[in-house]
Amino acid sequence: MTNAPLKGIKVLDLTIVLAGPTCGRTLAQYGAEVIKIDPESRKPQLYQWIDVSRGKKSVSLNLKRPGGKETFLELAKTADVILEGFRKGTTDRLGIGYEQIKKINPKLIYASINCYGHKGPWQFRPGFEQNAQAVTGIQMRNGSNESGPRAATYTLNDYGTGLAAAYGVMLALLERNKTNKGKHIGASLAVTSTFLTGPYATNYKNKPPENDIGGPGLRGKTPLSSLYECKNNEWILFKINNNTQWISLISTDQFKNLENNSLFSSSSLREKNSSELYLFLGEIIKTKTSSEWISFFKNLSIPAIKNTLSQEIHSSKYNVSRKMIVSKDYSNSNLSLYKEWGQTTWAGNPVYMSNYDLPAINPSMFSEHTTETLKKTGLSLSDIKKMKEEGTVPKEEMLPFSPDSSEPL
C-alpha cells in the first residue's frame, strides 16, 4: 500500500456499534493505521466486529483504570485522528475531549458522532439507528399511525453516518495539508437520516400536503415505474421514462392491447387512469417468469430488474466471484478463538480507483494488538503486567467476542 491515500495516518477509534466503527473501517480501507480501543467490558458482538472492525488493530484499554488515560494520551500525541461516539460531555469528563487533546496535539482531527446532532436541546441524548429513523419520519412513512411505524430495510443511518464521518475526516486531513491545523468535526444519525430523506425533508411556500410516498404494499410511484409480480412469484421492477419506450412496449405482441385502449392513449390519460393501467400491466406481467421479462425488457432497451432479497445477494455465487461477498473459512485456523468463527462472510469493497487497489481487510481478534501497541508508547512488559493486574488491560492476550444478541441497533 505504498500509494495509499491515507498512508502514514494513525487513527484512534473509540467508537462502538456501527456508525463510528464504519468510519474507522473506511479510513482503514484507504490505508490508515486504525487502532480500535475498547475496554474489556465493552467487547462487541462478533457479527458487528466482523462487519465494521475489519482492517483495524485491536487494543483493549480501560481509560478509567490506573494508567489507562495516560496511555491513551500518549497514543494521542502521535495520532492524526480520534473517532469517538460517546454521549456528549463524556470525553471531557474522561480528560480526552477535543480541547484537552488539542493542547497536546494541535494538528489532530477529532470526529464526534452522535444520534441527534451536536447542537440543540437533544445533543446530550443517547440514541441509535431506530431512534434516528423514528424521529426524522422514516418509520412513519414506511408504516402509518394506525398500523404503527415500520423500520427501514437496513440500518442505513448508521452506515451512512460512518461514511459521512469518513468523508469529513478525509476532508479535514486534506485541509490540514494546507493549514497544518487540526479540526473538530461532527456527524450524527439524525442529520444523515434527514439528508437521506432528501427532497421530502423540505418546506416551502405552497408545498403540496402529500409529497411523501411510502408504506406497506405500495409498488411504485407510477404504473410505469413499479414492482410487479411474475408467474414464478418473483417480482420485477421496470421503468418507462419516455414516450419512445412506451411506443416500443405497446408495439410488442404482449402489450399490443394497450395500443388501442383509449384509457392509455396519452401520457396525461395514463397518469389519470393509473390504477387501471397498473392492473392491466399486472395481469400481463403475471404471465411470464421474472427472467423472461428481464430479457424481454432488455431487448426493448427498457430498464428492468428482478426485485432482490438480501439473502439472495448473500448466496449469489456471482457476487462471491466478483468479491462483493467475501467468504473466509476460519475452521482450520491455528488459533482456537478464530476457529470458532467457522465459515464467515462479509460485504466486499464497492470502490474502484485506478491508482489505488483498495486492500482486502480482515477482522483481528479482540485485544490482539494490546501489548505491541502499548510497548510503542514506552511501556515495559512489567508496566503492562501491572496494568493487567489492575484491570486496565485484559489478562489474556486475546479474548472471544460476546455472542450475537439483541444489542440495540
Partner 1 sequence: MGFLEGYKVLEISRYPAGSILGMMLADEKAEVTKILFPNINPKQESVEFSVWNRGKNILNANIFNDSTSLQNILNLCTTADIIIICLDPEEIDKYSLTYDSLKGESVVVSLPCFPPGHTLDYLPPEEEIGAASSGIYSLNPAGKLPVPGEGPSFHSLYYSSNFAAMTASSAVVGALLQKNMTGLGQQISVSLHDAMYQGMGGNLIRHSKRSEGRQVAHPVIGRAYQCKDDKWININMSHPRFLEPFLKSIGKPEWLEELNDLETLLKDDLSLNMYKEKFALLWKEKTAKEWEDKLGDIGVPGSISRTIDEWIDEEQANLSEAIININDSYFGKMKQPGKLIQDL
Nearer of residues 145 and 268 to partner 1, judged by Cβ: 145
CB 96 within 8 A of CB 68: no
Q: What does the DSSP 8-state code read for residue 263? A: G
Print the binding letters for residues 327-356 with partner 1: x by CB under 8 A, - otherwise.
-------------xxxxxxxxx-xxxxxxx
Nearer of residues 52 and 83 to partner 1, judged by Cβ: 52
- Report the alpha-carbon distance of residue 57 to residue 55 in Å, rounded: 7
Query: In Å, how far are 245, 290, 409 from 238, measured between CA atoms?
Result: 11, 11, 33
Q: What does the DSSP 8-state code read for residue 334? A: S
Nearer of residues 40 and 158 to partner 1, judged by Cβ: 158
Nearer of residues 78 and 144 to partner 1, judged by Cβ: 144
Q: Does 305 bind partner 1 (CB under 8 A)?
A: yes
Nearer of residues 153 and 382 to partner 1, judged by Cβ: 153
CB 160 within 8 A of CB 196: yes
Nearer of residues 67 and 186 to partner 1, judged by Cβ: 186
Residue with cell 440500518: 155
Site for partner 1, residues 248 to 287, rule: CB under 8 A: none
300, 324, 337, 365: residue in contact with partner 1 (rule CB under 8 A): 324
Residue 254 CA from chain centroid, whole number: 41
Q: What is the DSSP string of 128-179?
A: -HHHHHHHTTHHHHHSBTTTB----SS-HHHHHHHHHHHHHHHHHHHHHHHH
Q: How far is the CB of 300 from partner 1 (least distance, A)?
A: 12
Q: How far is the CB of 189 from partner 1 (least distance, A)?
A: 10
Q: How far is the CB of 382 from partner 1 (least distance, A)?
A: 35
Which of 211, 257, 219, 265 has its CA nearest to residue 238? 219
Print the binding letters for residues 12-51 with partner 1: x by CB under 8 A, - otherwise.
------x---x---x---x---------------xxx-xx
Ramachandran angles phi, psi of 90, nearest 5°: -65, -45
Q: Does 216 bind partner 1 (CB under 8 A)?
A: yes
Nearer of residues 66 and 400 to partner 1, judged by Cβ: 400
78, 243, 308, 380: residue in contact with partner 1 (rule CB under 8 A): 308
Q: Give all strands (DSSP E) within 8-108, no chain letters.
A: 10-13, 33-38, 56-60, 81-84
- Report the alpha-carbon distance of residue 73 to residue 96 in Å, rounded: 7
Residue 65, all three cell numbers: 483504570
- Residues contacting partner 1: total by CB under 8 A: 153
Q: How far is the CB of 386 from partner 1 (least distance, A)?
A: 29
What is the Cβ-side half-sphere exposure of residue 69, based on CA atoms within 13 angstroms? 12
Collapsing DSSP to helix, strand or coil, 54 comes out as coil
Q: How far is the CB of 252 from partner 1 (least distance, A)?
A: 19
Segment contacting partner 1 (CB under 8 A): 62-70, 112-120, 253-261, 386-394? 112-120
Q: What does the DSSP 8-state code read for residue 367? A: T
Q: Does 312 bind partner 1 (CB under 8 A)?
A: yes
Segment contacting partner 1 (CB under 8 A): 61-69, 110-118, 252-260, 384-392? 110-118
96, 101, 325, 398: residue in contact with partner 1 (rule CB under 8 A): 325
- Report the alpha-carbon distance of residue 139 to residue 130 in Å, rounded: 8
Site for partner 1, residues 161 to 180, rule: CB under 8 A: 163-168, 170-175, 177
Residue 278, all three cell numbers: 397498473
Print the binding letters for residues 115-154 with partner 1: x by CB under 8 A, - otherwise.
xxxxxxxxxxxxxx-xxxxxxxxxxxxxx-x--xxxxxxx
Nearer of residues 3 and 78 to partner 1, judged by Cβ: 3
Print the binding letters for residues 173-212 with partner 1: x by CB under 8 A, - otherwise.
xxx-x-----xxxxxx-xxxxxxxxxxxxxxxx-----xx
CB 303 within 8 A of CB 238: yes
